[in-house]
Structure 1
Protein backbone atom coordinates (compact mmCIF):
# COMPACT_ATOMS: atom_id res chain seq x y z
CA UNK A 1 0.00 0.00 0.00
CA UNK A 2 1.32 3.45 -0.90
CA UNK A 3 2.21 5.89 1.81
CA UNK A 4 -0.23 8.80 2.21
CA UNK A 5 1.12 12.08 0.88
CA UNK A 6 1.50 15.34 2.78
CA UNK A 7 1.45 13.63 6.19
CA UNK A 8 1.51 16.73 8.41
CA UNK A 9 2.27 20.45 8.55
CA UNK A 10 5.76 21.83 9.16
CA UNK A 11 6.88 21.45 12.76
CA UNK A 12 7.64 24.63 14.69
CA UNK A 13 10.96 24.49 16.52
CA UNK A 14 10.20 27.76 18.28
CA UNK A 15 6.95 26.49 19.78
CA UNK A 16 6.72 25.55 23.43
CA UNK A 17 5.53 22.02 22.62
CA UNK A 18 8.20 19.35 22.03
CA UNK A 19 8.67 18.22 18.43
CA UNK A 20 7.46 14.69 19.17
CA UNK A 21 4.13 15.98 20.51
CA UNK A 22 3.71 18.23 17.47
CA UNK A 23 4.21 15.27 15.14
CA UNK A 24 1.93 13.08 17.26
CA UNK A 25 -0.84 15.68 17.30
CA UNK A 26 -0.61 16.28 13.55
CA UNK A 27 -0.85 12.56 12.79
CA UNK A 28 -3.64 12.07 15.35
CA UNK A 29 -5.68 14.86 13.76
CA UNK A 30 -5.33 13.33 10.29
CA UNK A 31 -6.33 9.89 11.59
CA UNK A 32 -9.38 11.14 13.52
CA UNK A 33 -10.50 13.25 10.56
CA UNK A 34 -10.24 10.22 8.27
CA UNK A 35 -7.48 11.66 6.08
CA UNK A 36 -5.35 8.65 6.95
CA UNK A 37 -7.56 5.65 6.31
CA UNK A 38 -7.66 2.53 8.44
CA UNK A 39 -5.00 0.14 7.13
CA UNK A 40 -2.76 2.83 5.61
CA UNK A 41 0.93 2.08 6.05
CA UNK A 42 2.79 5.01 7.56
CA UNK A 43 6.23 6.18 6.44
CA UNK A 44 9.17 4.62 8.26
CA UNK A 45 10.94 6.38 11.12
CA UNK A 46 13.75 7.29 8.74
CA UNK A 47 11.29 8.68 6.15
CA UNK A 48 9.47 10.77 8.76
CA UNK A 49 12.86 12.02 9.99
CA UNK A 50 13.90 13.06 6.48
CA UNK A 51 10.54 14.76 5.78
CA UNK A 52 10.63 16.88 8.93
CA UNK A 53 14.33 17.15 9.65
CA UNK A 54 13.94 15.44 13.02
CA UNK A 55 15.71 12.52 14.64
CA UNK A 56 14.39 8.98 14.62
CA UNK A 57 14.15 9.17 18.43
CA UNK A 58 11.65 12.04 18.11
CA UNK A 59 9.63 10.09 15.54
CA UNK A 60 9.74 6.96 17.69
CA UNK A 61 8.30 8.83 20.69
CA UNK A 62 5.41 10.20 18.62
CA UNK A 63 4.58 6.82 17.12
CA UNK A 64 4.85 5.05 20.49
CA UNK A 65 2.25 7.40 21.97
CA UNK A 66 -0.11 6.76 19.03
CA UNK A 67 0.33 3.01 19.59
CA UNK A 68 -0.49 3.41 23.31
CA UNK A 69 -3.71 5.23 22.40
CA UNK A 70 -4.80 2.64 19.85
CA UNK A 71 -4.55 4.87 16.79
CA UNK A 72 -1.79 2.91 15.05
CA UNK A 73 -0.25 -0.53 15.40
CA UNK A 74 3.13 -1.97 14.43
CA UNK A 75 3.98 -5.25 12.76
CA UNK A 76 7.58 -6.37 13.25
CA UNK A 77 9.48 -6.11 9.99
CA UNK A 78 6.58 -4.44 8.15
CA UNK A 79 6.12 -1.05 9.78
CA UNK A 80 3.32 1.01 11.34
CA UNK A 81 -0.31 1.03 10.18
CA UNK A 82 -3.43 3.07 10.97
CA UNK A 83 -5.80 1.08 13.16
CA UNK A 84 -9.53 1.46 13.69
CA UNK A 85 -10.12 4.79 15.38
CA UNK A 86 -10.68 3.46 18.87
CA UNK A 87 -11.16 6.24 21.39
CA UNK A 88 -11.60 6.40 25.13
CA UNK A 89 -14.73 8.20 26.32
CA UNK A 90 -14.77 9.29 29.94
CA UNK A 91 -18.23 10.83 30.24
CA UNK A 92 -19.58 7.68 31.89
CA UNK A 93 -17.23 8.15 34.88
CA UNK A 94 -17.52 11.92 35.33
CA UNK A 95 -20.25 14.43 36.13
CA UNK A 96 -19.54 16.16 32.83
CA UNK A 97 -22.18 15.72 30.19
CA UNK A 98 -21.40 13.89 26.95
CA UNK A 99 -21.02 17.14 24.96
CA UNK A 100 -18.81 18.75 27.59
CA UNK A 101 -16.49 15.74 27.80
CA UNK A 102 -16.18 15.29 24.03
CA UNK A 103 -15.63 19.00 23.38
CA UNK A 104 -12.98 19.12 26.11
CA UNK A 105 -11.12 16.52 24.05
CA UNK A 106 -11.41 18.58 20.88
CA UNK A 107 -14.11 16.41 19.32
CA UNK A 108 -17.00 17.76 17.24
CA UNK A 109 -20.41 16.85 18.70
CA UNK A 110 -23.69 17.18 16.80
CA UNK A 111 -27.10 16.74 18.42
CA UNK A 112 -30.40 16.12 16.63
CA UNK A 113 -33.50 16.51 18.79
CA UNK A 114 -36.06 13.84 17.87
CA UNK A 115 -38.53 14.57 20.68
CA UNK A 116 -38.93 17.44 23.16
CA UNK A 117 -42.10 17.64 25.23
CA UNK A 118 -43.71 18.31 28.59
CA UNK A 119 -45.48 15.21 29.90
CA UNK A 120 -46.24 12.97 32.86
CA UNK A 121 -43.29 10.78 33.87
CA UNK A 122 -43.17 7.05 33.31
CA UNK A 123 -43.05 4.86 36.39
CA UNK A 124 -39.28 4.40 36.07
CA UNK A 125 -38.73 8.15 35.65
CA UNK A 126 -40.95 8.97 38.62
CA UNK A 127 -39.06 6.56 40.88
CA UNK A 128 -35.62 7.65 39.63
CA UNK A 129 -36.39 11.37 40.04
CA UNK A 130 -38.37 11.04 43.28
CA UNK A 131 -41.44 12.76 41.80
CA UNK A 132 -44.82 13.04 43.44
CA UNK A 133 -48.13 12.31 41.77
CA UNK A 134 -49.14 15.04 39.32
CA UNK A 135 -45.58 16.33 38.73
CA UNK A 136 -44.29 16.48 35.17
CA UNK A 137 -41.00 16.05 33.32
CA UNK A 138 -39.41 17.59 30.27
CA UNK A 139 -38.73 14.57 28.06
CA UNK A 140 -36.05 14.60 25.37
CA UNK A 141 -35.01 12.07 22.77
CA UNK A 142 -31.76 12.98 21.03
CA UNK A 143 -29.45 11.46 18.43
CA UNK A 144 -25.81 12.38 18.92
CA UNK A 145 -22.77 12.08 16.67
CA UNK A 146 -19.06 12.53 17.30
CA UNK A 147 -16.85 13.71 14.43
CA UNK A 148 -19.80 13.04 12.06
CA UNK A 149 -20.21 9.41 13.20
CA UNK A 150 -23.52 8.49 14.84
CA UNK A 151 -22.70 7.39 18.36
CA UNK A 152 -25.52 7.75 20.88
CA UNK A 153 -29.31 7.59 21.14
CA UNK A 154 -30.45 9.18 24.42
CA UNK A 155 -33.82 9.47 26.17
CA UNK A 156 -33.74 12.01 29.01
CA UNK A 157 -36.19 13.24 31.65
CA UNK A 158 -35.73 16.39 33.76
CA UNK A 159 -38.20 17.46 36.51
CA UNK A 160 -40.28 20.22 34.93
CA UNK A 161 -40.42 22.35 38.08
CA UNK A 162 -36.63 22.66 38.05
CA UNK A 163 -36.43 23.78 34.42
CA UNK A 164 -39.59 25.70 33.45
CA UNK A 165 -39.77 26.31 29.71
CA UNK A 166 -37.06 23.78 28.88
CA UNK A 167 -39.52 21.95 26.62
CA UNK A 168 -39.68 25.06 24.40
CA UNK A 169 -35.96 25.87 24.38
CA UNK A 170 -33.87 25.26 21.25
CA UNK A 171 -31.50 22.40 22.11
CA UNK A 172 -30.19 21.38 18.68
CA UNK A 173 -26.39 21.03 18.90
CA UNK A 174 -26.37 22.26 22.49
CA UNK A 175 -25.17 20.66 25.70
CA UNK A 176 -28.09 19.98 28.03
CA UNK A 177 -25.84 20.26 31.08
CA UNK A 178 -24.63 23.65 29.88
CA UNK A 179 -28.25 24.82 29.44
CA UNK A 180 -29.17 23.58 32.91
CA UNK A 181 -26.19 25.44 34.41
CA UNK A 182 -26.61 28.70 32.55
CA UNK A 183 -30.40 29.01 32.38
CA UNK A 184 -31.50 27.37 35.62
CA UNK A 185 -28.47 27.39 37.92
CA UNK A 186 -28.55 23.59 38.16
CA UNK A 187 -25.15 21.98 38.67
CA UNK A 188 -24.75 18.23 38.70
CA UNK A 189 -22.32 17.09 41.41
CA UNK A 190 -22.69 13.30 41.27
CA UNK A 191 -24.36 10.57 39.27
CA UNK A 192 -25.12 6.87 39.49
CA UNK A 193 -24.77 4.89 36.26
CA UNK A 194 -25.54 1.34 35.24
CA UNK A 195 -24.19 -0.28 32.07
CA UNK A 196 -25.19 -3.46 30.28
CA UNK A 197 -25.04 -4.85 26.74
CA UNK A 198 -28.17 -5.10 24.58
CA UNK A 199 -29.23 -5.80 21.03
CA UNK A 200 -31.16 -2.76 19.71
CA UNK A 201 -34.65 -2.99 18.28
CA UNK A 202 -35.22 -2.21 14.60
CA UNK A 203 -36.16 1.44 15.18
CA UNK A 204 -33.06 2.17 17.27
CA UNK A 205 -30.90 0.39 14.69
CA UNK A 206 -32.38 2.56 11.94
CA UNK A 207 -31.86 5.79 13.91
CA UNK A 208 -28.21 4.90 14.55
CA UNK A 209 -27.82 3.83 10.91
CA UNK A 210 -26.37 0.46 11.86
CA UNK A 211 -25.37 -1.52 8.74
CA UNK A 212 -26.10 -4.78 10.58
CA UNK A 213 -27.30 -5.72 14.01
CA UNK A 214 -24.58 -5.19 16.57
CA UNK A 215 -24.53 -5.16 20.37
CA UNK A 216 -24.71 -1.74 22.01
CA UNK A 217 -23.96 -0.53 25.50
CA UNK A 218 -27.06 0.61 27.35
CA UNK A 219 -26.31 3.26 29.97
CA UNK A 220 -28.81 4.34 32.61
CA UNK A 221 -27.99 7.39 34.72
CA UNK A 222 -29.48 9.36 37.59
CA UNK A 223 -27.73 12.69 38.22
CA UNK A 224 -28.00 14.71 41.43
CA UNK A 225 -27.52 18.33 42.45
CA UNK A 226 -25.70 19.70 45.49
CA UNK A 227 -28.85 19.44 47.65
CA UNK A 228 -29.20 15.73 46.87
CA UNK A 229 -32.21 16.08 44.58
CA UNK A 230 -32.25 14.06 41.35
CA UNK A 231 -31.99 16.46 38.40
CA UNK A 232 -31.91 14.13 35.44
CA UNK A 233 -32.66 10.54 34.43
CA UNK A 234 -31.50 9.14 31.11
CA UNK A 235 -31.17 5.92 29.18
CA UNK A 236 -28.70 5.84 26.30
CA UNK A 237 -27.74 3.35 23.63
CA UNK A 238 -24.05 3.79 22.90
CA UNK A 239 -22.35 2.49 19.77
CA UNK A 240 -18.87 1.39 20.83
CA UNK A 241 -17.24 -0.26 17.81
CA UNK A 242 -14.83 2.67 17.42
CA UNK A 243 -14.54 3.75 21.05
CA UNK A 244 -14.19 2.49 24.60
CA UNK A 245 -15.82 3.76 27.77
CA UNK A 246 -13.17 4.68 30.30
CA UNK A 247 -13.92 4.44 34.03
CA UNK A 248 -11.47 5.69 36.65
CA UNK A 249 -11.84 4.60 40.28
CA UNK A 250 -10.20 5.72 43.50
CA UNK A 251 -9.72 4.00 46.82
Structure 2
Protein backbone atom coordinates (compact mmCIF):
# COMPACT_ATOMS: atom_id res chain seq x y z
CA UNK A 1 0.00 0.00 0.00
CA UNK A 2 1.36 3.41 -0.98
CA UNK A 3 1.14 5.75 2.00
CA UNK A 4 1.68 8.84 -0.13
CA UNK A 5 -1.28 7.97 -2.36
CA UNK A 6 -3.83 7.26 0.39
CA UNK A 7 -2.63 10.36 2.26
CA UNK A 8 -3.10 12.34 -0.95
CA UNK A 9 -6.65 11.01 -1.37
CA UNK A 10 -7.42 11.77 2.26
CA UNK A 11 -6.01 15.31 2.06
CA UNK A 12 -7.75 15.96 -1.24
CA UNK A 13 -11.20 14.95 0.00
CA UNK A 14 -10.88 16.44 3.50
CA UNK A 15 -9.94 19.78 1.90
CA UNK A 16 -12.92 19.63 -0.47
CA UNK A 17 -15.28 18.88 2.41
CA UNK A 18 -13.86 21.59 4.66
CA UNK A 19 -14.07 24.18 1.89
CA UNK A 20 -17.69 23.32 1.14
CA UNK A 21 -16.89 22.10 -2.37
CA UNK A 22 -18.40 18.77 -1.30
CA UNK A 23 -21.55 19.51 0.68
CA UNK A 24 -23.07 17.49 3.53
CA UNK A 25 -25.10 14.53 2.27
CA UNK A 26 -23.31 14.26 -1.08
CA UNK A 27 -22.28 10.75 -2.07
CA UNK A 28 -18.61 10.43 -2.97
CA UNK A 29 -17.32 8.12 -5.74
CA UNK A 30 -17.09 4.39 -5.11
CA UNK A 31 -13.87 2.58 -4.23
CA UNK A 32 -13.44 1.37 -7.82
CA UNK A 33 -14.08 4.86 -9.22
CA UNK A 34 -11.57 6.43 -6.85
CA UNK A 35 -9.02 3.71 -7.58
CA UNK A 36 -9.28 4.49 -11.29
CA UNK A 37 -9.17 8.26 -10.73
CA UNK A 38 -6.02 8.07 -8.58
CA UNK A 39 -4.41 5.15 -10.47
CA UNK A 40 -4.14 3.04 -7.35
CA UNK A 41 -5.61 -0.07 -5.73
CA UNK A 42 -8.95 -0.38 -3.98
CA UNK A 43 -7.06 -1.35 -0.82
CA UNK A 44 -5.31 2.03 -0.84
CA UNK A 45 -8.61 3.81 -1.46
CA UNK A 46 -10.25 1.84 1.34
CA UNK A 47 -7.57 3.06 3.75
CA UNK A 48 -8.16 6.67 2.72
CA UNK A 49 -11.91 6.31 3.17
CA UNK A 50 -11.41 4.75 6.57
CA UNK A 51 -9.29 7.75 7.62
CA UNK A 52 -11.98 10.13 6.36
CA UNK A 53 -14.60 8.20 8.33
CA UNK A 54 -12.53 8.10 11.53
CA UNK A 55 -11.95 11.85 11.37
CA UNK A 56 -15.60 12.71 10.89
CA UNK A 57 -15.64 13.70 7.22
CA UNK A 58 -17.76 10.89 5.78
CA UNK A 59 -20.28 8.29 6.89
CA UNK A 60 -20.21 4.85 5.27
CA UNK A 61 -23.60 3.17 4.81
CA UNK A 62 -23.44 -0.52 4.01
CA UNK A 63 -24.70 -1.25 0.52
CA UNK A 64 -25.13 2.42 -0.33
CA UNK A 65 -21.67 4.01 -0.26
CA UNK A 66 -19.93 6.89 1.51
CA UNK A 67 -21.60 10.23 2.20
CA UNK A 68 -20.21 13.58 3.31
CA UNK A 69 -20.95 14.51 6.93
CA UNK A 70 -21.81 18.00 8.11
CA UNK A 71 -18.50 19.25 9.50
CA UNK A 72 -20.28 22.24 11.03
CA UNK A 73 -21.79 20.07 13.73
CA UNK A 74 -23.56 21.41 16.77
CA UNK A 75 -21.42 21.35 19.89
CA UNK A 76 -22.96 19.92 23.03
CA UNK A 77 -21.01 20.12 26.29
CA UNK A 78 -20.35 16.83 28.05
CA UNK A 79 -19.35 18.25 31.42
CA UNK A 80 -21.58 20.76 33.12
CA UNK A 81 -25.34 20.64 33.54
CA UNK A 82 -27.09 22.73 30.90
CA UNK A 83 -30.59 22.70 29.46
CA UNK A 84 -31.34 22.38 25.76
CA UNK A 85 -32.73 25.92 25.69
CA UNK A 86 -29.44 27.24 27.08
CA UNK A 87 -27.55 25.34 24.37
CA UNK A 88 -30.03 26.47 21.73
CA UNK A 89 -29.56 30.13 22.68
CA UNK A 90 -25.87 29.72 21.82
CA UNK A 91 -26.40 27.99 18.47
CA UNK A 92 -28.05 30.82 16.58
CA UNK A 93 -30.10 28.39 14.48
CA UNK A 94 -33.80 27.97 13.72
CA UNK A 95 -35.03 25.67 16.51
CA UNK A 96 -38.45 24.28 17.48
CA UNK A 97 -39.51 21.93 20.28
CA UNK A 98 -42.27 19.40 19.55
CA UNK A 99 -43.92 17.90 22.65
CA UNK A 100 -45.20 14.37 22.02
CA UNK A 101 -46.05 13.48 25.62
CA UNK A 102 -46.33 15.22 28.98
CA UNK A 103 -48.15 13.02 31.47
CA UNK A 104 -48.04 11.11 34.73
CA UNK A 105 -47.48 7.44 33.87
CA UNK A 106 -46.62 4.16 35.63
CA UNK A 107 -42.86 3.73 35.71
CA UNK A 108 -41.47 1.03 33.43
CA UNK A 109 -39.04 -1.56 34.75
CA UNK A 110 -36.00 -0.01 33.05
CA UNK A 111 -36.78 3.54 34.21
CA UNK A 112 -37.59 2.37 37.75
CA UNK A 113 -34.13 0.83 38.00
CA UNK A 114 -32.54 4.08 36.86
CA UNK A 115 -34.59 6.27 39.22
CA UNK A 116 -34.22 3.77 42.08
CA UNK A 117 -37.99 3.40 42.61
CA UNK A 118 -40.46 0.54 42.34
CA UNK A 119 -41.87 -0.51 39.00
CA UNK A 120 -45.28 1.04 38.21
CA UNK A 121 -44.78 3.92 40.63
CA UNK A 122 -46.00 7.13 38.95
CA UNK A 123 -43.47 9.39 37.23
CA UNK A 124 -43.78 12.48 35.10
CA UNK A 125 -42.80 11.57 31.55
CA UNK A 126 -42.01 14.23 28.94
CA UNK A 127 -41.10 13.23 25.39
CA UNK A 128 -39.91 16.00 23.06
CA UNK A 129 -38.29 16.23 19.65
CA UNK A 130 -35.86 19.05 18.91
CA UNK A 131 -36.20 20.30 15.36
CA UNK A 132 -33.20 22.26 14.10
CA UNK A 133 -33.40 23.98 10.72
CA UNK A 134 -36.41 21.91 9.69
CA UNK A 135 -35.14 18.47 10.78
CA UNK A 136 -36.06 16.59 13.94
CA UNK A 137 -32.63 15.38 15.10
CA UNK A 138 -32.88 15.01 18.90
CA UNK A 139 -35.39 13.01 20.92
CA UNK A 140 -35.45 13.90 24.64
CA UNK A 141 -37.23 11.57 27.07
CA UNK A 142 -37.38 13.00 30.61
CA UNK A 143 -38.67 11.30 33.75
CA UNK A 144 -39.24 13.18 37.04
CA UNK A 145 -40.21 12.02 40.52
CA UNK A 146 -43.65 13.53 41.29
CA UNK A 147 -42.65 13.85 44.95
CA UNK A 148 -40.21 16.53 43.78
CA UNK A 149 -41.92 17.74 40.59
CA UNK A 150 -45.71 17.55 41.20
CA UNK A 151 -46.61 18.77 37.70
CA UNK A 152 -45.10 20.15 34.50
CA UNK A 153 -47.15 22.84 32.73
CA UNK A 154 -47.46 22.51 28.95
CA UNK A 155 -45.80 25.91 28.50
CA UNK A 156 -42.73 24.72 30.45
CA UNK A 157 -42.46 21.52 28.38
CA UNK A 158 -42.58 23.58 25.19
CA UNK A 159 -40.05 26.15 26.41
CA UNK A 160 -37.70 25.23 29.28
CA UNK A 161 -38.46 22.75 32.06
CA UNK A 162 -35.36 23.83 33.98
CA UNK A 163 -36.49 27.46 34.03
CA UNK A 164 -39.74 26.23 35.55
CA UNK A 165 -38.04 23.91 38.06
CA UNK A 166 -35.64 26.57 39.28
CA UNK A 167 -37.75 29.70 38.80
CA UNK A 168 -41.18 28.42 39.90
CA UNK A 169 -40.52 25.36 42.07
CA UNK A 170 -37.24 26.82 43.40
CA UNK A 171 -35.42 23.52 43.10
CA UNK A 172 -31.67 23.64 43.58
CA UNK A 173 -30.28 21.38 40.86
CA UNK A 174 -26.70 20.41 41.55
CA UNK A 175 -25.06 17.72 39.42
CA UNK A 176 -25.59 14.87 36.99
CA UNK A 177 -23.94 11.60 36.13
CA UNK A 178 -23.77 11.09 32.35
CA UNK A 179 -23.42 8.01 30.18
CA UNK A 180 -22.82 8.25 26.42
CA UNK A 181 -23.21 5.34 24.01
CA UNK A 182 -23.91 4.60 20.36
CA UNK A 183 -26.88 2.27 19.92
CA UNK A 184 -29.11 0.89 17.19
CA UNK A 185 -32.10 3.07 16.36
CA UNK A 186 -35.49 1.97 17.65
CA UNK A 187 -38.91 2.03 15.98
CA UNK A 188 -39.74 5.03 18.18
CA UNK A 189 -36.63 6.85 16.93
CA UNK A 190 -37.70 6.19 13.34
CA UNK A 191 -41.23 7.42 14.03
CA UNK A 192 -40.36 10.63 15.88
CA UNK A 193 -37.08 11.71 14.26
CA UNK A 194 -35.81 12.42 10.75
CA UNK A 195 -33.13 9.71 10.65
CA UNK A 196 -32.79 9.08 6.89
CA UNK A 197 -30.68 5.92 6.44
CA UNK A 198 -28.84 6.06 9.76
CA UNK A 199 -28.94 2.78 11.65
CA UNK A 200 -27.35 4.04 14.88
CA UNK A 201 -27.96 6.91 17.25
CA UNK A 202 -25.96 8.64 20.01
CA UNK A 203 -27.65 8.20 23.39
CA UNK A 204 -26.80 10.45 26.36
CA UNK A 205 -28.28 9.31 29.67
CA UNK A 206 -28.39 11.79 32.55
CA UNK A 207 -29.04 11.04 36.21
CA UNK A 208 -29.75 14.45 37.77
CA UNK A 209 -29.45 15.24 41.49
CA UNK A 210 -30.46 18.10 43.78
CA UNK A 211 -28.03 19.79 46.15
CA UNK A 212 -29.09 17.39 48.91
CA UNK A 213 -27.89 14.57 46.56
CA UNK A 214 -31.44 13.31 45.87
CA UNK A 215 -31.83 11.75 42.44
CA UNK A 216 -35.01 13.25 40.99
CA UNK A 217 -34.66 13.11 37.18
CA UNK A 218 -33.58 10.61 34.57
CA UNK A 219 -33.15 11.82 30.99
CA UNK A 220 -32.45 9.91 27.80
CA UNK A 221 -31.36 12.23 25.00
CA UNK A 222 -31.11 10.56 21.58
CA UNK A 223 -29.07 12.42 18.94
CA UNK A 224 -28.87 11.77 15.20
CA UNK A 225 -25.39 10.47 14.49
CA UNK A 226 -24.26 13.02 11.90
CA UNK A 227 -25.30 16.26 13.55
CA UNK A 228 -23.56 16.48 16.88
CA UNK A 229 -20.17 16.39 18.45
CA UNK A 230 -19.80 16.35 22.20
CA UNK A 231 -17.13 18.63 23.60
CA UNK A 232 -15.36 18.72 26.91
CA UNK A 233 -12.46 20.52 28.53
CA UNK A 234 -10.11 18.60 30.78
CA UNK A 235 -7.15 19.72 32.84
CA UNK A 236 -4.66 17.25 34.26
CA UNK A 237 -4.39 17.47 38.02
CA UNK A 238 -1.06 18.80 39.20
CA UNK A 239 0.87 16.71 41.73
CA UNK A 240 2.54 18.94 44.25
CA UNK A 241 6.31 19.03 43.82
CA UNK A 242 6.19 16.94 40.65
CA UNK A 243 6.31 19.12 37.48
CA UNK A 244 4.88 17.88 34.19
TM over 0.5: yes
Q: Name the counterpart of 1:97.
A: 83
Shift, 1:204, TM fit: 1.2
Matched, 1:129 2:115: yes
Q: Please point out which of 129, 140, 144 is paired with 1:154.
A: 140
Find the counterpart in structure 1 of residue 129 from structure 2: 143
Q: 1:207 to 1:37 in 2, by over 3 A?
A: farther
Provide the residue aligned with 1:113 in structure 2: 99
Q: Is the 8 A contact 2:143 2:219 kept in 1?
A: yes
Asked if structure 1 preserves the Cα contact closer than 8 Å seen for 2:184 and 2:201, the reply is yes
Is residue 217–residue 239 contact of structure 1 (8 Å, CA) maintained in 2?
A: yes
CA distance in structure 2 between the partners assigned to 1:210 and 1:124 by the alignment: 25
**Does the C-alpha gap of structure 1 residues 104 and 189 become closer, same or farther in structure 2, counting only changes over 3 Å?**
farther
Alpha-carbon distance between aligned partners in 1 of 2:226 and 2:22, rounded to the nearest angstrom:
16
**Given the two structures, how large is their TM-score scaled by the length of structure 1?**
0.60
Residue 171 of structure 1 and its aligned partner are, at CA, apart by 3.6
Distance 1:150 1:38, change over 3 A: farther
Q: 1:10-29 residue pairs with structure 2 within 5 A? A: none
Whether contact under 8 Å (2:177, 2:208) holds in the other structure is yes
Decide which moves more: 127-136 or 199-208.
Answer: 127-136
- Do the aligned partners of residues 107 and 173 (structure 1) sit closer, same or farther apart at CA in structure 2, a change above 3 Å counting? farther
Q: Secondary structure at the match of 1:143?
A: strand
| TM-score scaled by length of structure 2 | 0.62
1:134 offset after TM fit, Å? 7.6
Per the alignment, residue 228 of structure 1 pairs with 213
Shift of 1:116: 1.1
CA distance in 2, matches of 1:203, 1:130: 25
2:62 corresponds in structure 1 to: none
2:188 match: 203
- The Cα of 1:157 is off from its aligned counterpart by 0.3
> 218-227 or 204-213, which moves further after superposition?
204-213
Higher alpha-carbon deviation: 153-162 or 124-133: 124-133
Q: Check conservation: 1:88, 1:246, Cα contact below 8 A.
A: no
Deviation at residue 212 of structure 1 after TM alignment? 1.4
Residue 197 of structure 2 corresponds to residue 212 of structure 1:
yes
Q: Give every structure 1 segment of 4 or more consecutive aligned residues whose post-TM-superposition deviation is greater than 6 Å.
A: none
Q: Is the 8 A contact 2:126 2:143 kept in 1?
A: yes
Q: Report the counterpart of residue 41 of structure 2 in structure 1.
A: none
Indicate the residue corresponding to 1:247 in structure 2: 232
Q: Tell me the equivalent position of 2:9.
A: none
SS of residue matched to 1:204: helix
Distance 1:111 1:227, change over 3 A: same
Unaligned runs of 5+ in 1: 1-35, 41-69, 71-82
Give the Å deviation of 1:210.
Answer: 1.9
Unmatched runs of 5 consecutive residues or more in structure 2: 1-18, 24-55, 57-68, 238-244
**CA 165–202 in structure 1, closer or farther in 2 if over 3 Å, else same:** closer
Superposed CA RMSD in Å reads 3.0
Asked if 1 retains the 8 angstrom alpha-carbon contact of 2:198 and 2:225, the reply is no
